[in-house]
Structure 1
Amino acid sequence: MRWPRQLMSLLFVLTLLAGPPMVLLSLVGAPLQGWPTAAQAREWVQDPLTEQTLTAALTIAVWLVWLLLASTVTIRVLIRLSATVSWLRRMPLPTPWQATAGGIAGAAVFGVSSHAITAPPPPPTEPTAAGTLDEAGSLTPLDGDVLADAGISVAGGWLPRDVAEQVSAAAALVWLRRRRSYRPRPPGPPSREDTDLAPLPPTVAAVQAALADSPPPPTEPGASSTSSSPLAQPIVGSAFPIAGVGLTGLGAQDAARGLLVTRLLAGRQHPAVSVVITRTVLAGLLGPTAETLARRLPGLALIDNLGQAARFFSGNHPGRGLGERDPAQRNTQEGAGLPRPTLIVDEASATDNAETLASLAITSAAVAVLGRWPAGQTWQVDPSGGAHHLDGSGSPGPRMCVLAQVTATDLLTVIAHPDPAPPEPGTSGPSRHPALAGRSPQAVVIAQDHPVRSGDDKRRLRLRVLGEPTLLLDGHPVEIRRTAALQVLVFLAAHPDGADTRQLTDAIWPGLPRRSLTGRLYTTLSDLRATIRSTAGVALIEHSDDRYRLDPTGVTVDLWHFHDAVRDATTAVATDAAIWKAVIDAYPGDFAARRTWPWLDPIREATRRHVIDAHAALACASPDARQALAWLQAGVRIDPYNADLHSQAVSALITLGDHDAADHLREDYTRRLAAAGILPTDMAFTTAALTGQPAIRTR
């Protein structure tokens, strides 16, 4: 029990506070008997080291030490009292319904049985992995109200939850597009250097991790799923004025960036323009990269002045790379119920062209002015996104999405079209795999040292990361209690050379300050080591020079065996179908299947590409057309989004004379991409891949 210890501590502190003064007053008396006279002062100067002066100096020193102790205790007590008062102020009082329910529950507990029921302790909670869910989003109201401002906080901003979900969906679409556009090549070493395997920006990873660790807030049955944020649907949501708003205050620039990102995210499923913005405003929001990034952003139109904006909305302005927006297109957009485009201008443009802007606000666009807007509402936005009406009432408005410059640029990256990359060496032309003619000298890579496999492996621990991640001891799963601990195992399996503290914390808890994560990592590793030691009696994780790695003598990893098969296929000079089949056989499933950890995608896609390369090489090397088709169809099952495999399969079906099956495969593939979110205007690449024609990108 803790209270005896606390009582003894209190008695000890009281003794220290009261004891010294009582002893000093009883033995020596008061510390000062009055101010010294002039004669006493002259005597002290002539002979300072007397018994009386030394006693007085010692007494004063003891009193000073006691005063220091007393002041320290007083300050600590005041701090504790202040914290208690703050906690009491924040503690919500029960509503009448809650008080009634509590009374009924108490009566049931004391009336039904006198036996105490001990509830099991809750399982340990995992630390938040990335950007955090706001306090409002983690509380469940008992009166059925829908939480209005639940969102995700990341370094450099705050996003409404539905906007964060759109960011996560856009990030997933980036990887689907990369899978679609990959063209198989001769199998190479396990460590790939494909330019399109670069991970997404850290802010995107932080948003993804926060959503994975934070379940959506509960909603009232029958409530609309439309976001309460005024920026998610500027024209539909009642919080955001239909005509628009002026933004002032310390958070105005961040709110404008949030508006830009939110509207482009909301409009990415539609070919119409979502945001029209002046070049000067965009440069102020995004910095030096604004012009370059704008050319790659679908749904964004740049203008120089409001005169161009008027011509754009009347159908006479082309918009940057997005085609003319004629009245028929505008009518189609409005008839489909889509929100009007958002026009973002600065205060000077709004003042100099007040009539034009007012007309556009009524007929064509939702206007956001960086500054006061005399013709409409003006909100003052603080750095956290809180908005207040500047109409004299000072009434609070909705919380707005606010993003710093780097954060906004990171999020816009997942919307932007990728930079056109040069084709990989050896991937141009119809016969991209030299398997039929033997390996070219450039394709042969010097073998690297790796553990030799043996058929009599005595290691009892086996880590399976291809498919569902599982640690097996003698074939039986070992329970890993912490999700972060399982991440550590999978991450170290993907990095046989080990990883340091920075790499582990950045991967598992992206977006959080690294200095606050070291303790979490040590706790996770300690729990993981204790679990494995108590189960298998071995120390699986080695630690030296601040690097953690899996002990290869204590565990066998299926991913390592897969890499061995890839190395064998890479270093083999003769073309033997068995080496490609070994790669395929060593791949039972996707890397960490069904897991959504942000760091997985580059490794998962690199691993999948090795298998695709093997299927394509077997198809090219097969002398039988039907066997080649079978290998291509097997590759399509591995990656049903890859356009090149579908193109080769369609060609094989046409060669065999099965035109109906070829048409059916084309249609199924097109529907699959459309269901995944690939827009019809983004299908140019897919159509070109399936027909063998050069792609002409329209967006």
Structure 2
Amino acid sequence: MTQPLTAQTLAVALTVAAWLVWLMLAATVTIRAAARARAGARWLRRIPLPTPLQATATGMAGAAAFGAGAHTGATSAGPEAPLPVAAGTLDRPTGADGVERPDGVSEVGDASGVVVRGGWLPWEVAEQVAAAAGLVWLRRRRTYQPHPPHDARDDTDLAPLPETVTAIQTALTAPTPPAPTTGTAPAGPAGSIASLPSGRIALTGPGALAAARGMLVTAALAGLRHPAASAPLVITRAAARTLLGADIVRPLPGVRVAGSVNDAVAFLASSAAALFRSGWEDAGRPVLILESAPQSGPLAVALAACAATAMFLGAGTAEVTWHVDGAGHTHDPQRPDWVGPRLCVLDPVAATDLLTVITQAHPPDVHPGAGSRPVTVTAPERSRIPRQARGARHSHPPARAVAGRLDLRVLGEPTLIADGTPVPIRRSAALQVLVFLAVHPEGASSQQIVEAIWPGLPAHRLTGRLYTTLSDLRTTVRAACGLAVIDHTDNRYRLNPGFCDVDLWRLRTLAAHAATAVTSTATDWQAVIGAYTSDLAVGHQWPWLDPAREATRRHVLDAYAALAATEPDPRRALDFLQAGIRVDPYNQALHQQATGILTALGEHDTATELADTYHRRLTAAGLPPTDAHHPALHDGAEPVSGR
């Protein structure tokens, strides 16, 4: 202040001012940059991910773009697809033949057979597997013993069938007609015994063991379907252990297990005349599966006497050598131009699954025939076995929909009702999800739902399809009533009980009340009968549905049995038993009780007519009753208590 203003003082003042301005500018820029960074971070956290529908559409568009270039330069058929991968299913898939299939239906491997995880089966063999599965459920229905609801019920026999079987059943929902036979392949269906030439065949190649397993399963199915007109298959214990990793301990129809090669040859030599008299030559010829080619001469003599076929697992001394690839195609290395039949091929897991169902379908109470050591050969005579017979519809009025809530009716034709109006469900997979969640009110994980609707495929590959199905279902229901019908909590999907009423839940509640009441009354049992309007999901043959359908049917059978057991009037008791027979016309216990009452009343002709009708029904379904199961043979059977 005392010194005069000089040039030096002015320069220092300007420098200080400039630094202050620069510091203010730097601070402003820093603050602004930090604010933008925070805003960008918040935007990244809120970035919208594509919906399942958008992701599916994008993936399909990309696949189409890449596929267009790949197909442009194609001049011949590409290499065959690897076999052990199960057939794919899209919500609306297109099969290998270009035919669009409804959603929820497995796509078959090709036009001549069904591809499952671990194998390939010709159409005829796949249909026989589905028939055997249906026979298993009919046997379970026949042997169930209805009892009063308050008694503990054992439903361990309602275990689901193996995964390979359910995958085949799903694929057969919309089958493709078999392709015509071409080339110089032997006559007969692919993979059947009829397609095999007589003599010795050496199986080589990567699919040799899988083809032998397929032949074993094919022979067992043929013996189950036509026990009196099917060629036997003889396999040594050593070969069985090589194919399955274990011994065959349960009887298989049409299959005989020999302790050694000499035992197998001795069986053929001693049974040649019996084989031809029984008509086996009309359905094929006996087949031997041996681990290796023996050097002894008696085998050739036995094969010639029976016109049989011996299949060796590996190279050996044989008239014919078949090289089998992983897909079951056969080629003769000595004749490059010859195209052999395509054989059924199965890995050990798939073969074990199918043999398990065959043994369950095979009647265990039939004595084995002469010369057959560990195996019985009695089974139904029909080639097709109905999977389930629909129960009779009752005249009970349906439940009335409540305003502001959804009413899901799964007893009968599945229907979702909102404010008295049915909600159209466009996707069959969405309808399956609704019924599946109704059967499982406690909820189900995405993996459980996927494995039920699309069996045989890896769950992680189908998660997107499930999300698309659920998104479409939620959109449809929300547009109809504005309610959220499906909750997703704790990684489980379930129907919202606050917004949705289910007739199956009401039936289960009434059955539980009748079972747990200290003194159950006829009113409790009548309430159970009144709630059962029809079979579960009538008209649909989803493989996962069979256990739940049978368990539901048993509720009403128990109620009818309880009413009949406590009814002092035999005529009224007979009415209850006949009503139960209409619900399940295959149940043996109800028929025995009804014939017992008729016999006690002196109506022998009516009792005989009822027994004969039941006999014909079982025979038509592929369940010919034995002496131990024919109701007419139980004239002295005790009628139900109370009379």
TM-score range, shorter chain: 0.7 to 0.9
Say whether residues 1:258 and 2:214 are aligned partners: yes
Deviation at 1:686, TM superposition (A): 1.7
Q: Is the 8 A contact 1:643 1:690 kept in 2?
A: no
Partner of 1:424: none
TM-score by length of 2: 0.74
Structure 1 residue runs of 5 or longer lacking an equivalent are: 1-78, 93-121, 138-149, 221-225, 316-324, 422-453, 695-699
Q: 1:133 aligns with which of 88, 101, 108?
A: 108
Aligned-partner SS, 1:133: coil
Q: Distance in 2 between matches of 1:372 and 1:505?
A: 43
Kept in 2, the 8 Å contact 1:644–1:689? The answer is no
Equivalent residue number for residue 15 of structure 2 = none
Kindly indicate whether residue 278 of structure 2 is the aligned counterpart of residue 332 of structure 1.
yes
C-alpha distance in 1 between matches for 2:213 and 2:585: 36
Of 558, 568, 585, the residue aligned with 2:513 is 568
Q: Displacement of 1:664 after TM fit?
A: 1.0
- Quick check: 1:206 aligned with 2:167? yes
Aligned partner of 1:501 in structure 2 is: 446
Task: Tell me which residue corresponds to 2:199.
Answer: 243
**Which residue of structure 2 lines up, in the alignment, with residue 665 of structure 1?**
610
Secondary structure of 2:341's partner?
strand
Tell me the distance in 1 between the aligned counterparts of 2:316 and 2:608. 57
- Corresponding residue for residue 313 of structure 2: 370
Amino acid at match of 1:89: A
Counterpart in 1 of 2:356?
413
Query: Does the CA-based 8 Å contact 1:615-1:632 persist in structure 2?
Result: yes
User: Judging changes above 3 Å, is the alpha-carbon distance between structure 1 residues 391 and 338 closer, same or farther for their aligned structure 2 residues?
Assistant: same
- Equivalent residue number for residue 404 of structure 1: 347
What are the within-5 Å matches in structure 2 for residues 573-612 of structure 1?
573-612=518-557
Matches of 1:262 and 1:201 in 2, distance apart? 17
Q: How does 1:541-552 map to 2 (within 5 A)?
A: 541-552=486-497
Contact 1:171 1:414 in 2 (8 A): yes
Task: Provide, for residues 249-280 of structure 1, a one-character-per-residue CA deviation record: whole Å limited to 9, x for no partner.
Answer: 11100000011001111221233563111000
CA displacement at 1:670 relative to structure 2: 1.1
- The correspondence for 2:457, drawn from 491, 512, 518, is 512
How do residues 481-500 of structure 1 correspond to structure 2 at under 5 angstroms? 481-500=426-445
Output the CA distance in 2 between the equivalents of 1:615 and 1:395. 64
Q: 1:301 corresponds to which residue?
A: 256
1:84 aligns with 2:69: yes
TM-score normalised by length of structure 1:
0.69
The CA distance in 2 between the partners of 1:133 and 1:126, in whole Å, is 13
1:269 lines up with 2:214 in the alignment: no
**SS of equivalent to 1:203:** helix
Contact 1:257 1:403 (C-alpha < 8 Å) held by counterparts: yes
Structure 2 counterpart of 1:39: none
Going from structure 1 to structure 2, the CA distance change for 1:641 and 1:203 (only over 3 Å counts) comes to same
User: How many Å separate the matches in 2 of 1:692 and 1:339?
Assistant: 43
Note the C-alpha offset of 1:564: 1.3
Cross-structure match for 2:394: none
Whole-Å Cα distance in 2 between the matches of residues 499 and 182 of structure 1?
A: 28
State the AA in 2 paired with 1:691.
H
- Can you list the C-alpha shifts for 1:367-398, whole angstroms capped at 9, x where unaligned? 22212353421100111212111224363322
Partners in 2 of 1:380 and 1:362 — Cα distance? 27
Whole-angstrom distance in 2 between the partners of 1:281 and 1:688? 43
| Amino acid in structure 2 at the alignment position of 1:629 | L
Asked whether the 8 Å contact 2:108–2:115 carries over to 1, the reply is yes
Once residues 315 and 297 of structure 2 are traced to their aligned partners in structure 1, the CA distance between those partners, rounded to angstroms, is 12
SS at match of 2:629: helix
AA matched with 1:197:
L
Counterpart of 2:191? 231
Deviation at 1:661, TM superposition (A): 1.0
Q: Is residue 147–residue 558 contact of structure 2 (8 Å, CA) maintained in 1?
A: yes
Q: Give the counterpart of 2:129 among 142, 160, 167.
A: 167
Secondary structure of 2:283's counterpart equals coil
Q: Secondary structure at the match of 1:372?
A: coil
Task: Compare 264-273 and 402-411 and name the one that shifted more.
Answer: 264-273
Deviation digits for residues 165-224 of structure 1 (CA, Å, limit 9, x no counterpart): 1100100000000001111122159x9651210000011011111111x3332778xxxx
Instruction: Quote the RMSD (CA, aligned, Å).
Output: 3.1
Q: Percent identity?
A: 49
Q: Which residue of 1 aligns with 2:573?
A: 628
> Following TM superposition, by how much is the alpha carbon of 1:420 offset from its aligned partner in structure 2, in angstroms?
11
Aligned residue among 120, 129, 147 for 1:185: 147
- Partner-residue secondary structure (3-state), 2:225: coil
1:656 aligns to 2:601 (yes or no): yes
- Tell me what 1:451 maps to: none
Please tell me the residue identity of whatever aligns with 1:291.
I
**Map of 2:12 onto structure 1:** none
Q: CA deviation at 1:355?
A: 4.3
SS in 1 for 2:512: helix
Q: In the TM superposition, what is the alpha-carbon distance from 1:339 to its structure 2 partner?
A: 2.4
| Residue number in structure 2 paired with 1:154 | 116
By how many angstroms is 1:524 displaced?
0.2
Report the CA distance between 1:346 and its aligned residue.
Answer: 2.0
Q: Distance in 1 between matches of 2:569 and 2:448?
A: 48
- The alignment status of 1:691 with 2:634, answered yes or no, reads yes
How far is 1:583 from its partner? 0.6
2:324 paired residue number: 381
The 2-side partners of 1:84 and 1:471 are apart by 45
Distance 1:537 1:277, change over 3 A: same
Structure 1 residue aligned with 2:296, among 337, 353, 358?
Answer: 353
Contact 1:192/1:606 (CA < 8 Å) preserved in 2?
no
Aligned partners of 2:457, 2:294: CA distance in 1, in Å? Answer: 42
Deviation, 1:473, is 1.9
8 A Cα contact 1:231 1:259, kept in partner: yes
Q: 2:242 aligns with which of 255, 259, 284?
A: 284
The correspondence for 1:393, drawn from 336, 340, 343, is 336
Q: 1:634 deviation in Å?
A: 0.6
2-side partners of 1:689 and 1:511: how far apart? 44
Is the Cα–Cα contact under 8 Å of residues 627 and 633 in structure 2 kept in the other structure? Answer: no
**2:389 matched residue in structure 1:** none
Amino acid in structure 2 at the alignment position of 1:195: T
Count of aligned pairs: 514
- The one-letter code matched in structure 1 to 2:141 is R
Q: Secondary structure at 2:630's aligned position in 1? A: helix
> CA 1:415–1:652 in 2, change beyond 3 Å: closer, same or farther?
same
C-alpha distance after superposition, 1:15-64 (max 9, x if no partner): xxxxxxxxxxxxxxxxxxxxxxxxxxxxxxxxxxxxxxxxxxxxxxxxxx
User: 1 CA distance for matches of 2:439 and 2:615?
Assistant: 34
